[in-house]
Structure 1
Amino acid sequence: MHSLIVVAHPDPNSLTHTIAQHISRSITASRPQHSAELVDLIAEGFDPRFSLVDQALFLKQSAPPADVAAEQARLDRADALVLVYPIYWWSFPAVLKGWIDRVFAQGWAYEESSEGKVVKKLQHLQVHLVAIGGADEGTYQRHGYASAMKAQIDHGIFDYCGATVRSSSMLLSTEGDYPQAHLDTAHTIGASIFASQVQGTVGQSGA
C-alpha cells in the first residue's frame, strides 16, 4: 500500500515538515510492504495559479498541463493521501488550495454527467488531514472555525470527489507537552493509515 504525503510550508525545518516526516517513517515502519512519497509543494516549485490552461481543462477543451498530469499520476499510484499543513486564515495555505484547484480537475477527480449528477471518481482514495494551528481549541469551537473547515475541506472537496476522509486531526500549539505530543500523534497517524486493511476492518477517526 502506498501513501502520498503532501506538505505545504516554506520552511523545511518547520514543525509541519517534521510532523510529515514522522508520519512517513511511521507508515513505512508499520509494515515492510508499505511505502510513502513525501511531496514538498514549495520546494518543488508547484504553481498554484489557476490559469487559462486549467480553465480549458475544466471545459474539456484540452489535455491536462504537464505539471497537473504529473500530480494526478502520483495520486493514481496512491492508496492514501495525507495533507500536512499550517492553518492560514482558518483554511489551507494558498499553495495547497491551488494544488487542489488545479489537480482535482473535472474529468479526473469527478465528472458531471449529462443528467446533471456528479460522478465521484476518487472512491479508491483514503484521506488523512493534519492541520497545525496556533490558536486554542476554544477559539476554533467558539467561532465555528473547526466546523467550517470540516464543511469546506472534508465534505466540500473530498466527499464531492468520493474520497473518504479517514482522519482529520488539528494539532494546536496550546496543547500540553508541545511539540512532542504532536510528534507522538504523527507517529500514531502514520501507523494507523493502513491498519484497517491489515486487520480486515474499516475504521474512522476524527479530531
Structure 2
Amino acid sequence: MNVLLVYAHPESSSLNGSLKNFSVKHLEDAGHKVQVSDLYAMQWKAILDADDSTDRQPGARFDPSLDSKRAFENGTQSQDIALEQDKLRWADAVILQFPLWWFSMPAILKGWVERVYAYGFAYGVGEHSDTHWGDRYGEGMLAGKRAMLVVTTGGWESHYGPRGINGPIDDILFPIQHGILYYPGFDVLPPFMVYRTSRTDEARFSKICDELGQRLDDLWKTAPIPFRPQNAGAYAIPELTLRSDIAADQYGFDAHIARGG
C-alpha cells in the first residue's frame, strides 16, 4: 500500500521527529511504499494568496475560492500545490502527524490544507439538488482512502478526558477529523495520541513505538470513526441538519457519529 505522511514539527531530533522516523521504517519494513511531506524541511509556504496561481493578472482582485477553482481547472496552480495533490492521489492512506499547539494543528499544516485542498479537488465537487448537496462528508475526491492523526501533547490524558479542563480530545480534534479529513471523503481512523511528551524516557518511548507500530499494522483493519454520511438520508437537504428522528437526544459533535448504529 501507499502511505503519505504529512509531518509538521520544526525539530528533527524531537519526539515527533523520532516517531516520524519510526513510522517510516516500520511501514517500509512491512512492504509499504511511503512518501513524507516534511513541511518545515520543505519550507512550505503556509499562506494562501494570489501567488498560488501562475497566471494571475497584475492588479486583479484576489478571490480565494474562485482563483483556486480556475487555477485547478486550468492547470495553473503553483507547482508545490500540484505536487502535494499528486501525493494525495497516489496514497491509499494518509497520516497527519503534529504536536497539538493551542488546541489545533501548527499553522504550517493548516496552510498545507488551505492551499492543497483546492476548489474542484477537495471541495466544490458533485451536484447540488434536493437530495444531494455536493460530494462531501463521506464522498468526494479522496473517498476510498484512509486517514489517521498522530498527535502529541504536553498535557495529561486526564486533561483531555470527558470532564477534563481542556475538553474531550475527540471534540478538540473534531474539526480536523470531520471537517478536514471526512469532508473530502477519507475514512477516518481513531487518532493515535501521545500525552505528557516531556515525561518520555527510553522505556516509555519503546512502549509508544510498540503501540504505534500496532496501529500502523492495523491501518487497513481498524474500523473508522462512524461519522454519518451527508447524502445517505440522515440529514435534511438543503438545511443539512439531522432529521428529527436521528439521534433525537443528542446535540453537538457527538450527534454526527453513529454510535451503535
TM-score, normalised on structure 1?
Answer: 0.85
Equivalent residues in 2 for 1:48-59, closer than 5 Å: 48-54=46-52, 58-59=65-66
Instruction: Give the aligned partner of residue 156 of structure 2.
Output: 136
Which of 21, 40, 43 is matched with 2:41 structurally?
A: 43
Which of 55, 70, 79 is matched with 1:61 structurally?
A: 70
Instruction: Identify the structure with the greater helix proportion.
Output: 1
Unaligned 5+ segments in structure 1 are 197-202
CA contact (8 A) 1:71 1:103 kept: yes
Question: When the two structures are aligned, how many residues end up with a matched partner?
Answer: 197
Instruction: Identify the structure with the greater strand proportion.
Output: 1
CA contact (8 A) 2:49 2:64 kept: no
Instruction: Give the aligned partner of residue 189 of structure 1.
Output: 215
Instruction: Give the aligned partner of residue 11 of structure 2.
Output: 11
1:24 CA displacement: 1.4
Which of 75, 92, 96 is matched with 2:109 structurally?
A: 96
Distance in 1 between residues matched to 2:176 and 2:46, nearest whole Å: 17
RMSD, aligned CA: 2.2
C-alpha deviations, 1:67-115, integer Å up to 9, x for none? 1111101111111101111110111011111111111122111324452
Which of 105, 118, 122 is matched with 2:134 structurally?
A: 118
Amino acid at match of 1:184: D
Amino acid at match of 1:134: G
Q: Are residues 79 and 114 of structure 1, via their aligned partners in 2, closer, same or farther at CA, if it must alter by over 3 Å? A: closer
C-alpha deviations, 1:162-199, integer Å up to 9, x for none? 111123111112688533322222222222224x3xxx
Distance in 2 between residues matched to 1:65 and 1:27, nearest whole Å: 30
1:140 CA displacement: 1.3
CA contact (8 A) 1:127 1:164 kept: yes
Amino acid at match of 2:223: Q
CA contact (8 A) 1:25 1:190 kept: no
Which runs of structure 1 show a deviation greater than 4 angstroms over 4 or more consecutive aligned residues? 53-57, 174-177
Select between 13-22 and 143-152 the one with higher mean Cα deviation: 143-152
Q: Are residues 74 and 112 of structure 1, via their aligned partners in 2, closer, same or farther at CA, if it must alter by over 3 Å? A: closer
1:38 CA displacement: 2.0
Identity of aligned residues (%): 28
**SS of structure 1 residue aligned to 2:105:** coil
TM-score, normalised on structure 2?
Answer: 0.69
C-alpha deviations, 1:31-73, integer Å up to 9, x for none? x3x2111221111111011112456562123232211111101
